[in-house]
Copies of this chain bind each other. A is one copy, B any other.
Amino acid sequence: MRRASVFRLSMAHPGDVSALDRLITDGTVRAAEVVAVIGKTEGNGGVNDFTRGYFTQSLMGLLSRHLNRPPARLIREIPCVLSGGTEGVMSPHYSVFCISAGAAVPREFPSALAIGTAFSEPVPAEEIGRRAHVESVASAVRSAVGDAGIERLEEVHFVQVKCPCVTAARAAAAVAAGKAPRTSDSSRSMAFARAAGAFGVALALNEIAPEDFDDDSLLTDFSIQSPRASISSGIEVECNEVVVLGNSSGWSGPLRIAHRPMIDALDIGAVVDTLADLDIEARPQVASGAVSRIASVLVKCEPDRRGNVRGNRHTMLDDIDINAQRHIRGAVAGLVAGVVGDGRIFVSGGAEHQGPDGGGLLAIIASQRPDGSA
């Protein structure tokens, strides 16, 4: 019986993987058991945020030294999903997901956190943001669900996907080859890729049926959404990378995951309810003794595209000094951190079709042991 562990580690700067190095060196973490990393780095979160690449290079270099395998290979096996931007009270950190072969110890809880990963085939430029892309993601998600050994889809609580997008250069190459990419604008392409990722998750989890959408639905019909899809998109990947998190009776260990959609940026109830699903009270904040039970907090959010929150005008979308995604991350992180009492939370923007329009979603992994020990 496999056992999932999550190590949430702080970094002093985006090239600092010393905390993981120490855990590997002292034997707490076995490098070969690392299956995925999800983290927040202190960049701006935009196209010109290089803190993600810096951290990834540092992480893969570290694992390469410990595993004696080339970084270029590891990067195709271990999803490393980073969101730039630690606005406000967020603290730069990364969660290392590990799977160890089950010990012979008796099961402690009826079910426990299950992790599965998968990589799709490369997505051709002309397919990005279209049905073929959606199906490629769906297929990889199904594969990762299988990898996790999760039998019932309602036990899937969070699916992180990293999708490729079309750069101006890739778009030009596709056109030269007689193909028609959906857009040649890289930032628009990133949004289409995130939409395709969300549709793919919804499809794999049977939240929508194949006939429920066509290409025009992406970035248009926001009634189509998955409250379990967290999608990022970047020029650095060519295939879809998937991490599925859920609960399964086939796994041991004290961890458990729960999730909720967020109706809008003020939906504090979603945070409190998700904690309640994990038997953690927040009245109004998680008690200091229980903070250590929380292993990871994962949030997606989006500035409301209609320009207001509960009827009051917001100014995020028209601000050319601060990017709208930086605004919303800072606000939602302030709310979520206030409830959980901790700034080491993953709050990521670009939540098109990921939870309700104008809102987003939230997942929390916590220990089922009252003392929070892992």
A313 at the binding interface (Cβ < 8 Å): yes
Which residue of chain B is the closest to A93 with respect to CB atoms? B312
A344 at the binding interface (Cβ < 8 Å): yes
Cβ distance A236 to chain B, nearest Cβ, rounded Å:
10
Q: Which of B285, B313, B331, B344 contacts A333 (CB 8 A)?
A: B331
Cβ distance A373 to chain B, nearest Cβ, rounded Å:
19
Judging by beta carbons under 8 Å apart, are B320 and A12 in contact? no
Cα distance A313–B86 when bound, in Å?
Answer: 10
Task: State whether A13 and B50 are in contact (beta carbons under 8 Å apart), knowing that A284-B269, A322-B322, A343-B312 are contacts in the complex.
Answer: yes
A249 at the binding interface (Cβ < 8 Å): no
Cα distance A363–B269 when bound, in Å?
Answer: 23
Which residue of chain B is the closest to A323 with respect to CB atoms? B320
- Copies of this chain in the oligomer: 4
Q: How many residues of A contact B (CB 8 A)?
A: 71
Cβ distance A226 to chain B, nearest Cβ, rounded Å:
23
A interface: dominant SS: loop
Judging by beta carbons under 8 Å apart, are B266 and A310 in contact? no
Counting chain B CB atoms within 10 Å of each CB, the highest count among A15, A46, A285, A334 belongs to A334
Judging by beta carbons under 8 Å apart, are B326 and A322 in contact? yes
24 contacts between A and B (CB under 8 A): A42-B319, A46-B319, A46-B321, A47-B320, A48-B319, A48-B321, A53-B54, A54-B57, A57-B57, A88-B331, A89-B266, A90-B315, A92-B315, A186-B318, A265-B338, A266-B285, A267-B338, A321-B321, A327-B330, A330-B330, A331-B337, A334-B334, A334-B335, A335-B337
A-side residues, CB < 8 A to B, are: 10, 12-15, 42-51, 53-54, 57-58, 61, 86-93, 168, 186, 265-269, 271-272, 282, 284-285, 307-310, 312-316, 318-323, 326-328, 330-335, 337-339, 341-344
